[in-house]
Amino acid sequence: MSVKRDRGGYMTTSESITEAVNVLQQLGLREYEAECFVGLTRLSRGTAKEISEVTEVPRTRVYDSVRVLEAQGLVVTQHTSPKRFQTVPIEEVIQTFRDQYERNLDRLADALEAVTDVERESREMTHEVGTISGRDAITDRAERLITDATSEVVLIIGEQSLFTTECIESLSDVDDEVTLFVGTANESLQTRIENAVPRAETFVSGAEWLEDERGVEDDRAIGRLLMIDRSAILVSTVTRSTDDEHAMFGVGSENGLVIVARRLLAQGTLPVRDPDQE
């Protein structure tokens, strides 16, 4: 007898048994439990002696294994003399493992989120500073920062190509209780932002380094400067000739990068004052 593989190959019955046992072990069964379950599947119904004969699992271990399988809802016991055991339908077996797998995934998600929260707090305490390269990666980080804002979002756009549909959607989704400031290097972009994101308080930045001038020796420009809740900062540069974008980010209200950026924004570029200078 042979079983056809999904990819066009074939497995012998022996190979199928081995693969089934291996997969069951990966799903959490011990070796004897997996062997007994596969052996009982072959028998459809059998005694401990018959299961032992078809699997070569010692009879005393068959009883132990079957008790575990029965507790997991994979085997039922018929109280005859001698006792006979039978597997539940394959569909039920698969559903049982699927439910268990999904429960484990939920537990893993909860655990990882808890670890992430602790790690995030740890990074904030150590004043994290890092770099990111690539427009997609920087955009993803910026969107996550904006989503996490609880009190204030300040975004200054120096490169017009960064004012995309994704940017508009991200800004439009900011909670109504969060103050939203969007600055630009020129009035034409300010008008576009006012039309696209009416709730944003817009302004033209007074910082000279944001001016949209194409230098001969250096075609790099400030791409975006994003500050969230005055405790997280992301600033990027764009190379116009290649459209490459690189960014630096900092986290923590006492982070040096955050403090410098916060005070820079307060020097005539933002219609609010830096609390550190009040």
Convert the pLDDT of each residue in 114-130 to its tens digit: 776 555 555 544 456 78
d(CA 68, CA 93): 14
Please, what is the Cα angle at 58 between 54 and 61, to 5 degrees?
110
DSSP string, 51-77: HHHHH---HHHHHHHHHHHHHTTSEEE
Q: Over range 211-236, report the average pLDDT.
A: 74
40-86 tens-digit pLDDT? 999 888 999 999 999 989 999 999 999 999 998 899 988 888 889 99
How would you class 228 by CB atoms within 10 Å of its CB: exposed for 0-12, middle for 13-18, buried for 19 or more?
buried
Higher pLDDT, 246 or 206: 246
d(CA 28, CA 277): 60
d(CA 163, CA 161): 5
Global pTM reads 0.49
CA distances (Å), origin 23, targets 6, 26, 52, 81, 177 = 16, 5, 20, 33, 51
Q: What is the structure's pLDDT at 204?
A: 83
Please, what is the Cα angle at 114 between 109 and 115, to 5 degrees?
100
Q: State the angle between helix axes of 31-43 and 59-71 in degrees (0 to 180), rounded to the nearest 10.
A: 90
d(CA 231, CA 255): 8
- Of the candidates 80, 36, 29, the residue with the CA atom closest to the CA atom of residue 58: 36
d(CA 66, CA 81): 16
Sign of CA dihedral 170, 172, 173, 177: positive
Helix (H) or strand (E) holding 139, with range, is helix 135-148
d(CA 260, CA 233): 10
Residue 275 is classified by DSSP as G
Higher pLDDT, 76 or 271: 76
Q: Is the pLDDT of residue 263 over 80?
A: no
Q: Which of 40-49, 124-133, 143-152, 233-242 has the lowest mean pLDDT?
A: 124-133
Q: Is the pLDDT of residue 2 over 70?
A: no
Q: What is the structure's pLDDT at 9?
A: 56
